[in-house]
Chains A and B, each alone.
Chain A
Amino acid sequence: MQNVIQILDEMVRDGVIEDYVIGGATALLYFSIPNFVTEDIDVFVYLKDKPSSTLIDVSPLYNYLVTRKNARIQGDYVIVDNFPVQFLIPYDDLSKEAFANAMQVTPENMRFKIFSLEYSMAIMIQLGKEKYIERLRTLIKHRLFDEKKLDALLEKFNLTSQWLALNRRLEANQ
């Protein structure tokens, strides 16, 4: 993991990406209980060269990793130091704001940015995938999040109705 962070930092220094933030299950793990399985590390990045069209070319990123860091491409993942990494560009207002408000963490000699818990939750609520239900249940059960912050985010991004529906579902399954 340390090597992956080091490589991501080098990508920033070498001008391949502008910045990166870790999201998905890896970010969630920082706050929650390891009671879920994930395959990959989701890394949100902004590329250094701003695209002139809406189509974003990620090939410089892949080329850099393959030629300079011995990475290999496997399906949707780039295998970096034997870790499957999925590179994502912030794709909507919520993920862009999550990126801009990412928090820095320093676990055991590492330093990187992750999506804050409330943004991670808002993204899970927005995507509504089945696998997120159990992850949200744990967070609700242990009151691990700032309710006011989450409510404000959900209202801002019109996700309150999804959240209420999800809560009803969780209550029904208790």
Chain B
Amino acid sequence: MIEKKYTSAEDMILKVKESKEDYEKKYLTMSFMDKLRVLVRLQKKAYLMGQLKVKPWPIEERKRGQI
């Protein structure tokens, strides 16, 4: 199968917008605990960048590929 190539900048922007929509839809249907796990991942990044004053919450991550 030949992968579709972007034909223009508009096409590329549209593709990015579509994947953002898909991403948001996926996260909306997640369970509360899985949302917390995503939040903790963001906390860890922010903590490493010095943007968080306290340590990330001690919620265990799922194994790779589980979310």
Taking Cβ atoms with an 8 Å cutoff, the residues of A that contact B are 1, 25, 29-30, 32-40, 74-75, 77, 79, 81-84, 105, 107-108, 138, 141-142, 144
Main secondary structure of the interface of A (DSSP, over half): loop
Q: Compute how far the CA of A32 lies from the CA of B27 in the bound complex, rounded to whole angstroms.
A: 8
Assess the B46–A107 pair: CB atoms within 8 A.
Answer: no
Give Cα distance in the complex from A35 to B28, angstroms.
11
- B15 interface residue, CB < 8 Å from A? no
Pair A108/B42 contact, Cβ less than 8 Å: no
**Given A34-B42, A37-B52, do A142 and B32 touch, yes or no (CB 8 Å)?**
no
Interface residue from A33, A74, A108 paired with B24 (Cβ < 8 Å): A33
Task: Decide yes or no: A105 and B32 within 8 Å by CB, A37-B43, A38-B39 being known contacts.
Answer: yes
A-B contact number at CB 8 A: 63
B54 on interface, CB distance cutoff 8 Å: yes
Q: Is the CB of B43 within 8 A of A107?
A: no
Give the distance in Å from the alpha carbon of A107 to the alpha carbon of B35 in the complex: 11
Given contacts A39-B53, A74-B54, A83-B57, contact A138 B38 (CB under 8 A): no
Pick the contact of A108 from B33, B39, B58 — CB < 8 Å?
B33
Contacts of B38 in A (CB 8 A): 34
* Cross-interface CB contact of A1 among B28, B36, B51, B52, cutoff 8 Å: B36
Per-residue CB contact flags for chain B residues 54-66 toward chain A (1 = under 8 Å, else 0) read 1101110000000
Show 29 A/B contacts (Cβ-Cβ < 8 Å), sorted by A.
Answer: A1-B36, A1-B59, A30-B32, A30-B35, A32-B28, A33-B24, A33-B28, A34-B35, A34-B36, A34-B42, A35-B27, A36-B39, A37-B39, A37-B52, A38-B39, A38-B43, A39-B54, A75-B53, A79-B54, A81-B58, A82-B57, A82-B58, A84-B54, A105-B32, A107-B31, A107-B32, A108-B32, A138-B24, A142-B28
Residues of A within 8 A of B33 (CB): 1, 107-108
16 new A-B contacts, CB < 8 A, other than A37-B52, A83-B57, A108-B33, are A1-B59, A25-B39, A29-B36, A30-B32, A33-B24, A33-B27, A34-B35, A37-B39, A38-B43, A82-B57, A83-B58, A107-B32, A107-B33, A108-B32, A141-B24, A144-B28
Whole-angstrom distance from the CB of B5 to the nearest CB of chain A? Answer: 29
Roughly how many angstroms separate A168 CA and B52 CA in the complex, as a whole number? 31
